[in-house]
């Protein structure tokens, strides 16, 4: 039962740092690729936004996914 509510400061710090870096990266990448991702939403745009949100959550919560790998995935999705 130990660690159910609080698993230590390592996870908190990692989540905060990964969240800040990943969020900053996604904001910059969306700005570079244009407002099409955030403006007129068609089905494809909606799917890309959901996938970006899922990637962001995975980067923040999973210790197995480095931030750089997540940013590379952001680039692939936005590039498509």
Indicate the pTM of the whole model: 0.69
**What local confidence, expressed as pLDDT, does residue 39 receive?**
57
29 CA to centre of own chain: 11
Q: How far apart are CA 37 and CA 68, in angstroms?
A: 21
DSSP 32-79: HH-GGGTSS--HHHHHHHHHHHHHHHHHHH-TTS-HHHHHHHHHHHHH
- Average the pLDDT over 28-39 and give the result: 69
Per-residue confidence (pLDDT) for residue 31, from 0 to 100? 81
Structure tokens at 49: 């936004």
Give the residue-averaged pLDDT of 2-18.
Answer: 80
CA atoms of 46 and 77, how far apart (whole Å): 12
């Amino acid at each position: 039962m130990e660690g159910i509510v609080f698993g230590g400061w390592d996870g908190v710090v990692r989540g905060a740092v990964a969240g800040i870096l990943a969020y900053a990266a996604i904001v910059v990448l969306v700005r570079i690729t244009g407002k099409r991702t955030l403006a007129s939403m068609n089905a494809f745009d909606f799917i890309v936004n959901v996938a970006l949100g899922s990637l962001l959550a995975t980067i923040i919560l999973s210790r197995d996914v480095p931030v750089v790998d997540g940013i590379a995935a952001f680039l692939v999705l936005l590039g498509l």
